[in-house]
Amino acid sequence: MIKKGWEFNLLFIKVSLSNKFNLLFILLLPLCILFLNDYNELLSVESQSEKVSAMLGWIAFIITITAISGVGINLSILREQGFLKMFYYISGSISSIVLGLLISQALVTSSIIVLFSLIVSFAFSINTFYLISFSLILLIVGFIPTCLLSLIITVFPLKQGTLNPILFIIMFPLIYITSFNTAEISFVHLLNPIQLLSSIGIEFLYIESINKANVLVGFSMLVIFMLLGLVCIKLMRIMPVESRS
């Protein structure tokens, strides 16, 4: 499965790089909002920790949007175009296809995060190593659970024409949510991966006063994300919706 997953990764990397508009959109959207809404406020902040804390919500946003578009919606599009069925017959399992997507999107997301971190570090006088380190820690901790959670999309019989509008419908509430950073973690965050990831990141950022109960709840939720994703892999259909009707 690992070998076939890596082969699918190479294919999906090429597909992702060919869709430059999507990559630029995910990078530029949070940058535009930051520069338009928060530029002067962030420049006035002196604490490096506070500046990094303000960025973690946007790092969580990038992780979540890439997971939804690059894994959940991408798999649904592959299904509707007939490629998922073809890949399944080649590999013999859905798991190797999902693994290939996870690896490719992890590489794409890490590249976007590093670029984002470099730009905001220069613009807002943030320690580059400090920001990139915490951003990649957040990626390592939260990327796979968030991607697996996005597989819920594949369970629903959605036709290709409705998938991209769904992404935009999801995106705007997520942008609004991102503006509210909080270190408190509760089971309400099950519906809100951005706040969950940013809250976990804030706990690690202020590790000298870390709330162990918060971290335990946070990681419990990530485990729930993964379990839901594994169930969705079992429920996923390879046939396009139109061919079932």
Convert the pLDDT of each residue in 38-50 to its tens digit. Answer: 777 787 787 888 8
Q: 44: which residues sit within 8 A by CB, 6+ positions away?
A: none
Task: Give the separation between CA 221 and CA 159, rounded to whole angstroms.
Answer: 30
**Model confidence pLDDT, tens digit, residues 101-156:** 999 999 999 999 999 999 999 988 899 998 999 899 999 999 999 999 999 988 88
pLDDT attached to residue 229: 92
At position 238, the amino acid (one-letter code) is I
Question: Under a CB-based contact definition with an 8 Å cutoff, are residues 205 and 49 in contact?
Answer: yes
pLDDT attached to residue 118: 95
User: pTM score, two decimals?
Assistant: 0.89
- Quick check: 180 pLDDT over 70? no
Q: 202: which residues sit within 8 A by CB, 6+ positions away?
A: 53, 56, 181, 182, 183
Name the pLDDT band for 190 (thresholds 50, 70, 90): low
Question: In terms of C-beta density within 10 A (0-12 exposed, 13-18 middle, 19 or more buried), how is residue 135 classed?
Answer: buried
Question: Most confidently modeled of 59-63, 90-94, 177-181, 238-242?
Answer: 59-63
In Å, how far are 3, 49, 118, 211 from 111, measured between CA atoms? 23, 23, 11, 30
